[in-house]
């Protein structure tokens, strides 16, 4: 079966390298989230709708915007160069099994796409479980260490061999 063993010219990225790349990106997009939250809180307070949705409206809007920005960035970076700034720092990159149009978009919509839903009460639990499951499946998928987002898109994250 195709895609069950690593190619000879690549080495799969370790789980901690992938986690490190996401944590680096998460820090940056976390700052963007807080800036958006503070801005939206001030705007909603000024126009008098701060208490809508039990006071959760600024957080919901900030999560939606920051999650959409992160998903868009993830798609754009992977479709252009196969790496995000976190992957560049960790010296790993994304490679397709076979070139397929829309692969990076499919991958981004499965992960980190659900981050857009984290600000919505109740739905945030489901989104968190999905994101946790993606990480867990990367750990148990040997030898390629691919998550559902990689399998759907037909991609692998590999180490830079320079």
Q: What is the DSSP letter of 13?
A: P
pTM: 0.87
Residue 65 has what pLDDT? 94
Q: Evaluate if residue 9 carries a pLDDT over 80.
A: no
Say what percent of the chain tops pLDDT 70.
Answer: 94
CA 129 – CA 114 distance, rounded (Å) = 10
Q: What is the DSSP letter of 24?
A: H
The CA–CA distances, whole Å, from 157 to 6, 66, 81, 89, 130 equal 11, 24, 13, 14, 20
Tens-place pLDDT, residues 107-153: 999 999 998 998 888 899 999 899 899 989 999 998 888 999 999 99
Contact 114/148 with Cβ under 8 angstroms?
Answer: no
**For the chain, where are the E strands, in sequence order?**
92-96, 155-159
For every residue of 45-71, DSSP letters joined together read: HHHT-TTGGGGTHHHHHHHHHHHHHHH
Query: Residue 130 corresponds to which tokens in the numbers above?
Result: 């999905």
Residue 8 has what pLDDT? 62
Instruction: Name the least confident of 42-46, 73-77, 97-101.
Output: 97-101
Q: Evaluate if residue 31 carries a pLDDT over 90.
A: yes
**Binning pLDDT at 50, 70 and 90, where does residue 2 land?**
very low
Instruction: Name the least confident of 1-10, 15-24, 106-115, 146-155.
Output: 1-10
Tell me the β-bridge partners of 156. 95
**Binning pLDDT at 50, 70 and 90, where does residue 6 land?**
low
């Amino acid at each position: 079966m195709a895609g069950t063993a690593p190619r000879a010219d690549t080495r799969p990225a370790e789980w901690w390298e992938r986690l490190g790349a996401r944590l680096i990106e998460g820090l940056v997009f976390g700052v963007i989230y807080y800036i958006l939250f503070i801005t939206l809180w001030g705007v909603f307070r000024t126009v008098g709708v701060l208490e809508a949705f039990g006071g959760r409206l600024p957080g919901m809007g900030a999560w939606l915007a920051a999650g959409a920005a992160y998903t868009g960035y993830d798609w754009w970076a992977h479709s252009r160069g196969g790496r995000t700034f976190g992957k560049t720092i960790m010296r790993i990159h994304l490679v397709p099994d076979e070139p397929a149009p829309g692969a990076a978009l499919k991958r981004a919509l499965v992960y980190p796409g659900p981050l857009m839903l984290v600000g919505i009460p109740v739905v945030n639990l489901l989104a968190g479980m999905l994101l946790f499951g993606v990480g867990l499946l990367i750990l148990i998928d040997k030898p390629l260490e691919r998550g559902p987002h990689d399998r759907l898109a037909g991609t692998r994250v590999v180490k830079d061999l320079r």
